[in-house]
Amino acid sequence: MSARVRTPTARVCERCGRAERWDDDLEAWQLDRDDGEKLIGNPHCLHEWDINGTFNPVAENDS
């Protein structure tokens, strides 16, 4: 049994609510949208990303 490391595909700022998703084609974080509106949050915020709360980067392989 081996483990593999995963990376997050979405993140939300705990301070201002800015939401982003990972775009594999662009290889960059992109603003998420809700009904076509960009979830930009506060552009002057020093973003505190909620990626370490419930996200577990280690996934067990079924081998």
Task: Return the number of other C-beta atoms located less than 10 Å from residue 55's C-beta.
Answer: 13
d(CA 53, CA 50): 6
- Give residue-wise pLDDT tens across range 9-52: 889 999 999 999 999 999 999 999 989 888 899 989 999 987 66
The pLDDT value given to residue 60: 72
* Strands, sheet with 28-31, edge to edge from the N-terminal-most edge strand: 10-12, 19-23, 28-31
Q: Which residues pair with 30 in a beta bridge?
A: 21
